[in-house]
Structures are given as C-alpha cells and as structure tokens.
Amino acid sequence: MNNNSPSFIFFGTPEFAVRVLQGLKKHSLAPRLIITAPSRPQGRGLIVVPPAVKEYADANKIRCLQPEKIADAVTELINSNADVFVVAAYGAILSNEVLSIPSKGAINIHPSLLPKYRGASPIESAILRDDRDTGVSLMLMDEKMDHGPIIAQWKLSELEQGPAWPLSSAEAREIFADQGAKLLVKAFHDIKNDCLLYKEQEHARATYTKKIEKNDGCISLDDDPYKNFLKYKALTPRPGVYFFEHQNGGKKRIIIRQALFHDGQFIPARVVPEGGKEMEWSSYERGITTNPHKIL
C-alpha cells in the first residue's frame, strides 16, 4: 500500500473495473478490501463463474466479499475503517447508509463526460450517437444516480494515439478505465493533502441512458450503412449485432461477428448463422446465391 494514499475499499465487477485496479497497481495502490457481485451460473451448462474482479482479487491476494445485498456487508465496511470508497461498474446501488461510512466520501469512475450519459450504458450510447465528445468522469457520489459533484474529467480528444473513431465499446472501456485510474491517483493525492476540489454538475444539461437489451442489436442490411456500423461497434460482442434471414415462412438469426465500413457501405466480414458455425461473409453470400431467400 502506498503510504501517500488514503486507504480505500473498491467496488466493481466486470473487466472495466479490473482495468482500473491494474492502473492503480502501477502506482502501488491496492484496496484493503474488494466488494464485487456474487458468482453466477453462466452459459448453456450453467457453470458458476466468478466475476472478473473476484478473479483479480484472488490472483493478487486481496480480501474480497461477494454479498447478495450490500446491506449484508455494512458491518465489514465499517470495521475496515477506510478513508474512501471507490466504485467502478459495481452493478448495484449504494444506499446513503453505505455512502456515509467512509470519512472522505465515495468516488465513482463513470465513462462519460457527466452530466451527459448518466445511467447504465454511457459508452454504448455515445458510440451509437456518433458522439466523439465523450470521456470519463470522477465524481463524489450522492444518493442520486451519477448526480454528485465532479472531481475531474478526461476527454477522448486528449488521446494522442489510439484507435480510430468510431471506437468499439471494448476499446472505449480500456481507454476510459486507464484514464479513470490516472484521475483517481491524482484525486488520492489531493485527498491525502486535504486539497480535493470539486464542482456541481450542470444538472439541467443531464442526459440519460438505458440498459442495453439483446433486441437492441437487431439491424436490417437495408438500414443506413453508417448507423449499422455504429451499432456493430457499440454492441459487439455483447449483446451482439444480428439480422434475420427469412425463408419458407420462417426466419433465422444471423449474428455478425466482424464487419467493416468501406466506401460508404456496411460490409459484414464474418457471420454465424443460427444453428451453424462461424463463416466468412463471402461463403454465406454464396449460399444465398444458390438458395435465394430474403434478408432483413
């Protein structure tokens, strides 16, 4: 543990949160306790799989709790006597009771330029709207969703080298997690020296995002090509982008695994027909030619 840092407890669940932890580790910063979601059955075999953060905690020998309800961990949180809570894609709401435990407050890393894109899908929403004016925010948490005062922000336009726009959601998560960790290192320094500054959000400018559902990935190849490409970049690999092939009164889902945008055209590169194996788009097209049917 870095003695120039406040003690902290980390709340997070997916790879985004792991990337933040890795960024902190580069500065010899480690939480005294990690809180993550319970392990859940996944896939057709319903095999119980731990969250990515749980695996990180085990690999780095950091104590980790997986409460079904955060209220179940309140005693542990109080006894840990941490200065700060850090939240990065935890996946559950923290009550006022929990937020009031740390002496220096709770900090959230949110992958948008708040007050834009509050809510569950800030990264996907920015890509879907072709909004390059995005980034990551560090905020003090209050009882409302993504509402608290801003400590610091980093804009994507500050990136000197990196992938071209539109980013994929995976690329954006990596970049924003890395930059969020850097903002957090600076915030820790300021907290330790009692000089942390923050400002209220412009709440009148707030926009909100919704949870992404599986059917959000449905496209028609007749739709606007660039909008299809934005949807592919935003929603691959989860929940995935697909179209339907209609034949003999039925329909078959065709998942697009890889795609390009070239000369104004959206071009699938690799697809997975429902019930089939992944294949090149050219092979799929040859099947269409020999067995014509309607694609939507």
- The two tokens of residue 103 are 């002496």
pLDDT digit string, tens, across residues 24-56 = 999 999 999 999 999 999 877 889 999 999 999
Does 105 share its domain with 238?
no
The residue out of 164, 189, 208 marking a domain boundary is 208
In DSSP notation, 237-268 reads TTT-EEEEEEETTEEEEEEEEEEEEETTEEEE
User: Does residue 134 sit in the same domain as residue 101?
Assistant: yes
pLDDT of residue 43: 79
183 lies in the same domain as 229: no
| Shared domain check, 65 and 153 | yes
Q: Is the pLDDT of residue 290 over 70?
A: no
pLDDT tens-digit map of 213-270: 999 999 999 999 999 999 999 999 999 999 999 877 789 999 999 999 999 999 999 9
Answer whether residue 3 is part of any domain: no
Residue 174 and residue 218 in one domain? no
Measured CA distances, 14 to 38, 53, 55 (Å): 12, 6, 10
Does 223 lie in the same domain as 139?
no
Which pLDDT band holds residue 101 (cuts at 50, 70, 90)? very high
Q: 259: domain range?
A: 214-295
pLDDT in tens, 140-182: 999 999 999 999 999 999 998 889 999 999 999 999 999 999 9
Domain final position from 154, 173, 208: 208
Q: How many distinct structural domains can be found in the chain?
A: 2
Q: Is the pLDDT of residue 286 over 90?
A: no
Q: Do 98 and 120 reside in the same domain of the chain?
A: yes
- Asked whether residue 200 carries a pLDDT value surpassing 80, the answer given is yes
Selection from 174, 241, 239 nearest residue 210 by Cα? 239
Closest listed residue to residue 175, CA positions, set 126, 123, 125, 210: 123
Do 170 and 75 lie in one domain? The reply is yes
- 2 within some domain: no
Quick one: 80 and 195 in the same domain? yes
Q: CATH number for the domain including 56?
A: 3.40.50.170
% residues pLDDT > 70 (the chain): 96
Same domain, 145 and 30: yes
Computed over every residue of the chain, the mean pLDDT equals 95
Is there a single domain that holds both residue 140 and residue 253? no
The answer to pTM > 0.95 is no
